[in-house]
Amino acid sequence: MRCDEIRQDRTDPSFRVTNNKHRMDDEDLAAILTSTSTDATTTSRAQLDEKHSQKSDLASSFLSTLSDDSLIDYITNNNDGNPSPAPTVTTTTEPEYTRGDYFHEKKARQDEQDQLLREQYRTNLGAEPPQIFQNCIIYINGYTVPGRLQLHEMIVLHGGKFLHHLSAKKKVTHIIASNLPLKKRLEFQNYKVVKPDWIVQSIAQGKLLPWQDFALLTNLDERQKKLPLLLPKKQDSKTIVDCNDPNFISSYFQNSRLHHLSTWKSDLRAKFLNEMDFTRTIEKTDPLTIFHFDFDCFFATVAYMYKDPQLKCDMDVDPIVVCHGNKNSDIASCNYVARKYGIKNGMWVSQAEKLCPANVKLITLPYNFEQFAKKSEIFYNVLKDSNFFDLILPMSIDEAICVMVLDPMSNREKLETICRDIRAKVFTETKGCSISVGCADSLILARLNLKKSKPNGAFILNSNELDSDFLNEFKPDDLPGVGYSIVSKLREKFSTSNLTLQDLKNESTLISLQDCVGQKLGLKIHLALQGKDDEESSKLIYDPESILERKSLSLEINWGVRFNEINQVDTFIDRCCQYLHEKLNDLEKLTPQITLKIMKRAPDAPIEPAKYLGMGRCVPFNKSSRLGTPTNELGIIATEVKSLYRIIGCPPNEVRGVSIQFNKLCSPSINQQPALKLPFVKLNAPPNNIQDKTNHEFKKRKISLETPTMRLISPPKKFDILTSFEEKFIENLPTQIGEELKKDLRIKKKIQQTKRKEIEEEITKRQDLVKNYKSHFFSENSLFEPIKFQNISNFKKISQMIMEWVDGTLREGGPHERDVKLFEKYLIRLCDSNRVHLVLRLSNLISNKLNVCPRRDNEERGFQEWERILMKLMVPILNRNKHTFQTVRKLDIDYDL
């Protein structure tokens, strides 16, 4: 029986069915009883459209050469009064510009930025920081505390060189890591691997401390090298419980079978593409024989071979499954005895136990990922070394499709020999893993034959031999592309009883199939019933590259995800982005589009689901964003995702899953690079001029400035902005309980956001990022000292002074930018020293002031400026730091009393 998980829709109290096979817990069961199907609401899409930036009639304007992203950059810089440095002038395109050049240039740009950072620091503090790390070339591996960004800044400020990527060619003097998996430990054993504290302490003491005192690998002795197999079991004394642990992602992935399956698959695909040059291209006119090989109950077989010898069980007698737990744990693989009782891969152990007869005990075995990988490698080597095949297409860790240019009809005996040889060879070389093989003149029949051959067999049948007896042995979901949902559609349309493929063939026509399951799949099934492949499937043989090449990159974690505060979400998102960023750079790719999916606990699902730390029944929320220009910058990516999370607006304690996707990938192209090198001709033009031009650009890009709802800076009434300020703040307070309605309101509002609003947010976001980044680093020492502002340390006096400043500048068209910067710095220092409540107090004072002060016509500007500071500077600071607010607020109240 196939089961599924039901998720509640966002807008409709009824339910939607999704297909997660063989899985059901009691909560789901209850939900199924009330289920109907509905569509999900769609969130508004990101609307910056690259096309508009490419219009040729704008070629004369510098601004028109900028992507949306760069345009925003440009405006941001201009607002800061911080024009970018004049770039080198190169206007001609260079056709030889290669990917390597790109990364080379990127490094050069990075070096420039590092230099700039040092200069800024010098200007700000009037002194050169001690060049502690003068001759160090440092690489940071994986997740660290403090984070990569901070360490990077610390290193370059103090004279070190920072390596973004580690490669054999590059020299590296030190590797920083907080933690290393055993594999990496061995890989790095000849490097100086140090804990991040080495950086922190060296800076604190103003001198380069001996790295040995901070070595991470002191414990890597002979004993450990010899016992890599035993180590994973022992683990550290501290077990990693949920996603707030800095090492959660790697520890989780190390144990996730689905993660392993996915990464193995993509590795195999990459390997195939790498070795493509040596494989023969198959022509449509070639006569073909297809072999479909697959291990029998792969994980179960291998786990059984390496089981604890104390555990007595028999593969041919006992039902055996591979899983982590013993109740609500997924079964990755079950042996054929277990299948006899109706147990299937993907089921929960508890359900499998119910299927076993009373006197039969279900045996559970742990995973052995290392051996799974080894057996697979042997399998692929046997296929390759046999030299039988013209093409070896990896389907998964335990499954490959092999193609021979050979007429299968007239070479029957040869086919039988090949099947026998390969199966025997794999069995001996793996020391006991049986594989099965289906062989035919089409992909689909090879697959059906494989199914029929299992376990431990071979079956050959070509399309000219196809008959009703054969088709009667299969069910619809034996066809590729037919799963839970399609089966139920077919059942509804064709037959209620147990439908075999022969039944389906008898009862269906091409049209009726297409009517039932759609054009493409309908045709695919129709052809399959005649033993023929559809066009899309055949591509795998004739154009494997197009099928096996990577088109996207993503990460998804729906286990162990539990948050209390938004800061934890942000931190987790940062770590996810760091993970993806590494992959993206390994691929040497950029992404122009990012999607965030949040799994939110379904309103009526229990807070804790049946499965320990599982996601339970959830509602998915998707939001995607098209970046103005493709990027591989961690900062941009992480900021974007965190911003998407805020747009989705799911309370942290309701989040059960996080998924981040780079929907498209592109290579750094020649076209992009020269654009960045264009001279900043108009840089010194007067502000009005710039304003006109940016407006012009907005217009050209169909980003309207006229719509009233977009007038962010001057809302219709000051009363409105104050309520919305208060509402916004109140609703974000940790004390809020059961404010679902308000949240929904907020989500709806967000959905109505316009392009202009999105751009405004983009600008703020970036400024926030920079500020956040800097302030965090520079304010570290101030935690327990009185926070001074303008050399006053008494808060009451400070707030008096600030209010006078507000009062005065309200009538003068707003405060000076530089003063605002100082003010902001002060606010951030307050937050960083756990004094968010004081920021709140200042916010309230200013908000009251704006509300109470009589507003004269010619003073509109000053009010607007202060409203902007309130909304765009102070509220974000409060939001960013509200996690520290709850504890301090008590003190604040006590203090006030």
Ligand X SMILES: Nc1ccn([C@H]2C[C@H](O)[C@@H](COP(=O)(O)OP(=O)(O)OP(=O)(O)O)O2)c(=O)n1
- Compute the distance between CA of residue 239 and CA of residue 853 in angstroms, rounded to an integer: 57
- State the amino acid at position 25 in one-letter form: D
In the complex with ligand X, the residue whose CB is nearer, 28 or 640, is: 28
Closest CA to 751 of 647, 659, 644: 647
**Minimum distance from CB of 21 to ligand X (Å)?**
7
Which residues fall in the annotated binding site? 294, 398-399
Q: Answer for the pair 1, 341: CB distance below 8 angstroms, yes or no.
A: no
**Minimum distance from CB of 144 to DNA (Å)?**
21
The listed partner (ligand X, DNA, none) that binds 43, CB under 5 to 8 Å by sort, is DNA
In Å, the largest CA–CA distance within the chain is 98
- Measure CA of the first residue to CA of the last residue in the chain; give whole Å: 65
The listed partner (ligand X, DNA, none) that binds 512, CB under 5 to 8 Å by sort, is none
List contacts with ligand X (CB under 6 A). 257, 261, 294-299, 332-333, 345-346, 398-399, 454-455
For residue 867, the SS3 value is: helix
**Minimum distance from CB of 51 to DNA (Å)?**
7
- Compute the distance between CA of residue 157 and CA of residue 173 in angstroms, rounded to an integer: 17
Bridging pattern class, strands 363-365 and 591-601 = unpaired
DSSP secondary-structure letter at 348?
B
DSSP secondary-structure letter at 84?
P
- Compute the distance between CA of residue 752 and CA of residue 621 in angstroms, rounded to an integer: 16
The 8 Å CB, 24+ separation contacts for 179-186 are: 179/142, 179/143, 179/216, 179/246, 179/247, 179/250, 180/141, 180/142, 180/216, 180/217, 181/250, 181/254, 182/224, 182/228, 182/231, 182/232, 184/141, 184/142, 185/217, 185/220, 185/224, 186/220, 186/225, 186/228
The listed partner (ligand X, DNA, none) that binds 323, CB under 5 to 8 Å by sort, is DNA
The listed partner (DNA, ligand X, none) that binds 560, CB under 5 to 8 Å by sort, is DNA
- Compute the distance between CA of residue 140 and CA of residue 176 in angstroms, rounded to an integer: 5
In the complex with ligand X, the residue whose CB is nearer, 179 or 256, is: 256
The listed partner (ligand X, DNA, none) that binds 263, CB under 5 to 8 Å by sort, is DNA
**Minimum distance from CB of 626 to ligand X (Å)?**
34
**Minimum distance from CB of 552 to DNA (Å)?**
4
**Minimum distance from CB of 127 to DNA (Å)?**
46
In the complex with ligand X, the residue whose CB is nearer, 264 or 698, is: 264
In the complex with ligand X, the residue whose CB is nearer, 346 or 480, is: 346
**Minimum distance from CB of 365 to ligand X (Å)?**
12
Quote the tokens at residue 697: 């650009």
In the complex with DNA, the residue whose CB is nearer, 260 or 771, is: 260
The listed partner (ligand X, DNA, none) that binds 326, CB under 5 to 8 Å by sort, is DNA
- Compute the distance between CA of residue 118 and CA of residue 540 in angstroms, rounded to an integer: 53
In the complex with ligand X, the residue whose CB is nearer, 232 or 457, is: 457
In the complex with DNA, the residue whose CB is nearer, 3 or 873, is: 3
The listed partner (DNA, ligand X, none) that binds 297, CB under 5 to 8 Å by sort, is ligand X
The listed partner (ligand X, DNA, none) that binds 196, CB under 5 to 8 Å by sort, is none
Q: What are phi and psi of 325, to 5 degrees?
A: -115, -160
The listed partner (DNA, ligand X, none) that binds 519, CB under 5 to 8 Å by sort, is DNA
**Minimum distance from CB of 330 to ligand X (Å)?**
7
The listed partner (ligand X, DNA, none) that binds 299, CB under 5 to 8 Å by sort, is ligand X
- Compute the distance between CA of residue 468 and CA of residue 449 in angstroms, rounded to an integer: 14
- Compute the distance between CA of residue 274 and CA of residue 401 in angstroms, rounded to an integer: 18
In the complex with ligand X, the residue whose CB is nearer, 214 or 304, is: 304
In the complex with DNA, the residue whose CB is nearer, 548 or 712, is: 548
**Minimum distance from CB of 61 to DNA (Å)?**
21
The listed partner (ligand X, DNA, none) that binds 333, CB under 5 to 8 Å by sort, is ligand X
Quote the tokens at residue 51: 């096309």
In the complex with ligand X, the residue whose CB is nearer, 261 or 675, is: 261
The listed partner (DNA, ligand X, none) that binds 483, CB under 5 to 8 Å by sort, is DNA
Q: For the residues of 263-306, what is the DSSP string, one character each?
A: HHHHHHHHHHHHTGGGSPPPPTTS-EEEEEEEESSHHHHHHHHT
**Minimum distance from CB of 103 to DNA (Å)?**
21
In the complex with ligand X, the residue whose CB is nearer, 453 or 500, is: 453
Please say whether the dihedral angle defined by the alpha carbons of residues 626, 631, 636 and 641, taken in this order, is positive or negative: positive
Q: Answer for the pair 62, 680: CB distance below 8 angstroms, yes or no.
A: yes
**Minimum distance from CB of 887 to DNA (Å)?**
26
| Angle, CA 469 vertex, CA 465 and CA 472 arms, to 5° | 120
In the complex with ligand X, the residue whose CB is nearer, 454 or 581, is: 454
57 vs 53, 701, 849, CA distance in Å? 10, 13, 49
The listed partner (DNA, ligand X, none) that binds 371, CB under 5 to 8 Å by sort, is none
Closest CA to 55 of 757, 690, 705, 699: 699
Helix intervals (H) in 397-438? 412-429
In the complex with DNA, the residue whose CB is nearer, 543 or 804, is: 543
Can you give 141-182 as a three-state secondary structure string?
Answer: CCCCCCCHHHHHHHHHHCCCEEECCCCCCCCCCEEECCCCCH
Which residues fall in the annotated binding site for Mg(2+)? 294, 398-399
**Minimum distance from CB of 551 to ligand X (Å)?**
23
The listed partner (DNA, ligand X, none) that binds 654, CB under 5 to 8 Å by sort, is none
- Compute the distance between CA of residue 688 and CA of residue 568 in angstroms, rounded to an integer: 43
In the complex with ligand X, the residue whose CB is nearer, 399 or 503, is: 399
792: left (phi over 0), alpha (psi -120 to 50) or beta: beta
Quote the tokens at residue 624: 């995607």
Quote the tokens at residue 711: 């007038």
Cβ neighbours for 310, distance < 8 A, ≥ 6 positions apart: none
The DSSP H or E segment spanning 686 is none
Helix intervals (H) in 49-147? 68-79, 99-125
**Minimum distance from CB of 224 to DNA (Å)?**
21
- Compute the distance between CA of residue 407 and CA of residue 405 in angstroms, rounded to an integer: 7
Cβ neighbours for 525, distance < 8 A, ≥ 6 positions apart: 479, 481, 482, 504, 508, 513, 517
